[in-house]
Every structure is written in C-alpha cells, then in structure tokens.
Amino acid sequence: MVREVIPIMEATKRPLRVCLLTGGGDAPGLNAAVRAFVHVATRRDVLVYASHFGFEGLLAPAREGSPQVVPLRIEDVRGILPRGGSILGCSTASNPFALPADHAAAVDATARLRAVLADFGIDALVLAGGDGTAVIAARLEELGVPCVVIPKTIDGDLGGTEQTCGIDTAVETATRAIDALHSTAEAHHRVMIVEVMGRSAGWIALRAGIAGGADAILIPEVPYDPARVAAKIRERETFGLRFSIVVVGEGASPLGGAASEVEAQRPGHPARLGGAGEFLARELRARDLHHEVRVTVLGHLQRGGTPTAADRLLATRFGAHAADLCAERRFGRMVSLRSGHVVSTSISEASRCPSRVDPAGELAYCARSMGIELGTA
Ligand code: F6P
C-alpha cells in the first residue's frame, strides 16, 4: 500500500532531515539531480545531509569506525551541472542487505543503518539510483525507513518511469561512436561490431543502433541467430556495400545460449556482463564472410563525461520533484516521467516491474521496417 503522507513534521516540530545518496553505478545527470534536490529542499525547509559513496558513508561505522554523513548546502552544489559522475561518489558494493564483509559472506547491515539514521536524526533517505537501488529502497520501506527514489540509470531498465536520467547521454555517446566507426569500416571493408552497455535491457543498443544507422542490432530481449546476422552482411554485399555495422547489447545471447559474463552473480550483486561482441565475432568469423570482423567495446565511456542538456533538464526536474515529495512527507515514492510530466509512483511497484524493450513494440517495429536485422524472424 502506498503511504501518501507521514506526519513527521507534526510529530517532531522540527525541520525534516533527509540523507541523500547516489547508489549503484554513476550516470550522467546525477549532479544535476543532487543540485536541484538541495536547492529545492533547502528552500522548503528540509535539511539535507549526504552519505558519500552510496550507503558506504552511512555504513562506514560497520567498517571503519566513523560515519560519514555530512550536511549538503546550496554552496556545496555550485558549478556541478556540467560534471559527469557524482560529487557524492557512488558504490555498487554497499548494499545494506548484503554488505560484503572481509573474509566472510555478505552481512545484513540494516540494523546498523537504522541505528546510524537514528543517531543523526535522519527522518528519510533520498536514493538516486537504478533498479538495484529501487529494490533496496522497497525493502527499507518495509522495515519502516521512509524513502524517496530518484530514477537514474544509463540502462533505462527501471520500471515505473518512461525515462531515467543518464540514458540520453549514453545513447548520444554510443551513436557518435557508431558514426565514427562507419567511415573506418567502409575504408577497410570490415564488419564492425559495437558492444554497448545496458545489462538485460536493449534500450541503449536499439536507440543508438537506429540513430546511428546500424545494419543489425542484437538486444537481450531477442535471442539472436548468428546465421541471420551473417545473411544480412552477405545481402549488403550483393548491393555493393562491403562493410557492416552490428550493434550488440552486452546482455544479448544467441538462440539457445546465455549472455556472456566476466564475473558471476553473487549475493546482492548482479553478474558482470562482457564478451558479447567477441562471442558474436567468433560466430561470424566461422561463417567465411570474406570480411575482417572487428569489435569495439564502448564500456564506461557511455557512463562518463558531460551529461546532455536533456539529461540535465530531466535530472533537475526529478531532483526538484523529489524535494517536493520530501517537503510534503510523501514517502515510499519514486519520481517518474509519465506522458512527459514529472509525477511519482510507488517504489515497490517500480522495483517489481523492470523496463525491457518490447520485441513487438514500436521501436523494434521501426527497426525491422528499416531493414535492420534484429537477429530473429
Ligand atoms: O547499470 C549501469 C551499467 O553501466 C551497466 O550498463 C553495466 O553492465 C554495469 O553498470 C557495469 O557496472 P560496473 O561499472 O560496476 O562494472
């Protein structure tokens, strides 16, 4: 059930105190969200504190002896709009439900977390994060820790919102890379495979692939047949086009196969994906295409650098709305974009419904209509 209003203000007669953190991997636009949150919250009489490196600041006592929860004021967030990363730092290794412990299995650090929140008089957490952070927030809410989530991820795989901040910049970076690869592919009559991020969602691959004019796009939602990709390359040759660009999402898998991993999943942490491009290259090389096949892995380039104007704008709107939610004591909510409007949705619902490319949806249909090979019939 959604808790719309928590009357903390009435109960305590003091300004609300919230702790803001950026959870999971960084995403372009995070600083814009932090800046907007601090500006609006401060103007609405909400005291903002920050935990550095995700939950690490809050959970530091469990590791190092002193909590790192610091006040965050308007003067602390000046000049950060164009900066990538997060001024608060990020951590993918500080899940309070599965905190890695030295020489031991992960431990549940939620009791410690609650004690630190009580020590600092923190009433609520504001978590800028992706799907992993939303799941943590939903579980913290169940434990009675009020939370607000600001959706960010380059993968676009978080449910409950039409857009997350970060993906626009990642798609822009990937599109420019595909543009650049076209000329060198053509000069050498090569097949260029571009591996992009996105985990189990093909949003970056599909959007950048269409925007960059790829000949084949392979996404995790559609297990692919390497023979169809090879056939597409041969078909282009019959038109005198002796180069091809294939975009492959890191989570893509061949029919009957699995996604390529460089590190297996462990408690509280997803598998680390990688190798999808090389896997496909081996499959294509085995099919005698008379073309050299090369692989470019874009990797963290997609996460770094200056956010696009669209990401900064969305992140600012999200951060401002998150501050409004706090000021109105509306917890258990994730900021969300619906039909172009910034609204909010239930954290638990959003965390239960990941966003994936619909293979029968408009974007995939558009790609197929353009003659782009998606790897299956
Ligand atoms: O979730 C964002 C993301 O960049 C994914 O696209 C990618 O699989 C993963 O994070 C990489 O995470 P890390 O930087 O921790 O290896």
Point out which residues pair with 77 in neighbouring strands: none
Q: What is the pLDDT of residue 68?
A: 77
Q: How many whole angstroms from 185 Cα to the centroid of ligand 1? A: 27
Backbone angles phi, psi at 249, to 5 degrees: -70, 145
In 3-state terms, what secondary structure has residue 151?
A: strand
More confident of the two residues 260 and 288 = 260
pLDDT of 92 reads 87
Q: Which of 197, 248, 250 to mutate to test the pocket of ligand 1 (most atoms within 8 A of CB)?
A: 197
pLDDT at residue 88, as a whole number: 96
| CB contact set of 135 (below 8 Å; sequence gap of 6+) | 351
User: Rounded to the nearest 5 degrees, what angle is found at the Cα of 336, between the Cα atoms of 196 and 342?
Assistant: 120
Enter the tokens of residue 358.
């619909």
* 1 contact partners, CB below 8 Å, separation of at least 6: none
**Which of 26, 123, 131, 155 is labelled catalytic?**
155
Q: Alpha-carbon dihedral of residues 126, 132, 135, 141, nearest 10 degrees?
A: -20
Q: Which ranges of 239-374 does DSSP label H, i.e. alpha helix?
A: 276-285, 309-327, 347-352, 362-369
Quick one: pLDDT at residue 168? 98
Separation of CA 303 and ligand 1 centre (Å) = 8
pLDDT mean over 198-207: 98
Task: Tell me, in angstroms, the distance from the centre of ligand 1 to residue 25's CA.
Answer: 6
Question: Could you report the per-residue pLDDT of 130-158, keeping only the tens digit for each?
Answer: 999 999 999 999 999 999 999 999 999 99
Residue whose token pair is 């939370």? 147
Quick one: pLDDT at residue 216?
Answer: 98
Kindly give the number of the ligand 1 atom that is closest to the alpha carbon of 251. Answer: 8
**pLDDT (average), residues 344-349:** 97
Distance CA 250, CA 298 (A): 10
What's the pLDDT band for 9 if we cut at 50, 70, 90?
Answer: very low
**Is the pLDDT assigned to residue 2 strictly greater than 90?**
no
Q: What is the pTM for the complete model shown?
A: 0.94
Tokens of 47: 């005291």
Evaluate whether 2 touches 346 at the Cβ level (below 8 Å).
Answer: yes
pLDDT of residue 101: 67
- pLDDT tier for residue 3 given thresholds of 50, 70 and 90: very low
CA angle, residues 344, 155, 370, in degrees to nearest 5:
110
Helices (H), 149-269: 167-188, 203-212, 226-238
Q: Residue 155 catalytic?
A: yes
pLDDT 10s digits, 263-311: 998 776 789 999 999 999 999 999 989 899 999 999 999 999 999 999 9
Ligand 1 pocket mutation, candidates 164, 303, 355, 356, criterion most atoms within 8 A of CB: 303
Q: Residue 60's pLDDT is what?
A: 81
Percent of the chain with pLDDT over 90: 87
Report the C-alpha dihedral over residues 98, 102, 104, 109, rounded to 10 degrees. -30
Average pLDDT of the chain is: 93
| pLDDT at 104 (0 to 100) | 64
Q: Are 131 and 354 spatial neighbours (Cβ–Cβ below 8 Å)?
A: yes
The greatest distance separating any two alpha carbons of the chain, rounded to the nearest whole angstrom, comes to: 76
Q: What is the pLDDT of residues 87-109, one digit of tens each?
A: 999 998 889 998 876 656 788 99
Two structure tokens written together for 259:
């996604």
pLDDT recorded at residue 269: 76
**Residue located nearest, by CA, to atom 14 of ligand 1:** 25
pLDDT value at 315 more than 70: yes
